[in-house]
Structure 1
């Protein structure tokens, strides 16, 4: 019997299914509680997030909709090193961010080749267009 095809953004990973209904505070609190000997302060330090900021996210006194994707990646990396079953996609969803498509080295290389062939003004225009596209995806 074959597995059913998943729509983009869906998963057959149980932890991701659970996390789909959790916000960032719930996910991080649950994972920290599941890892013996680790604290919020440990996570903040290792992920490079100021402890008061992380604590405010976890106590829900500060919003998480503007948390940088790089910060979510750092949190995920630390938690995975600690043995937690978490993905960047889960954390992105938990703050209402779209999950980027999979990286494709061939497409990235092609885009970089095009960029390098453009004059400086066109490179700047391409970057501005990419920023606008990124903002529209977030909205």
Structure 2
């Protein structure tokens, strides 16, 4: 049994393989801020366009996270990544207890690159030729 939407190129995940999030949002954000070095909650809130008081409540666990706007979670991810933290949107969504959206473009690209690297040279060339043919077909259809 798989979970989540199944779109071409998505990697199905079995329900039994889904790990429970090991950190809540407060713990995850604290760890990621530490990874960035000298950035503070105020810096993060300002850069992500989130009210500092709101972010502070999430980090103190005095306000629930189940209704956080998905765009805020994406903004936090983008800012933290820009500051050098190793994080993907899925981690913040899971930590906040929010439904995880389908795989991001970045996750699909990583999956494709992982598959490409596992192929022998002949398979890599064939994959590139297939991708070029698909792109040509898509352009012709426009």
TM-score range, shorter chain: 0.5 to 0.7
Q: Displacement of 1:95 after TM fit?
A: 1.5
Q: TM-score, normalised by structure 2?
A: 0.59
Q: How does 1:12-91 map to 2 (within 5 A)?
A: 20-91=21-92
Q: Displacement of 1:20 after TM fit?
A: 2.2
In structure 1, the residue matched to 2:13 is: 7
- 1:30 partner SS: helix
CA distance 1:47–1:8, shift in 2 (3 Å): farther
- 1:45 partner SS: helix
List runs of 5+ in structure 2 lacking aligned partners: 1-10, 106-142
Q: Displacement of 1:46 after TM fit?
A: 0.1
In structure 2, the residue matched to 1:14 is: none
CA distance in 2, matches of 1:37, 1:48: 19
Deviation string 1:53-90 (CA, Å, 9 cap, x unpaired) is 10110011111110010000000000000000111111
CA distance 1:6–1:59, shift in 2 (3 Å): same
Q: Single out whichever of 25-34 and 76-85 deviates more from structure 2.
A: 25-34
List runs of 5+ in structure 1 lacking aligned partners: 12-16, 105-139
CA distance 1:37–1:67, shift in 2 (3 Å): same
- 2:38 partner SS: coil
Q: TM-score, normalised by structure 1?
A: 0.60
CA distance in 2, matches of 1:79, 1:103: 16
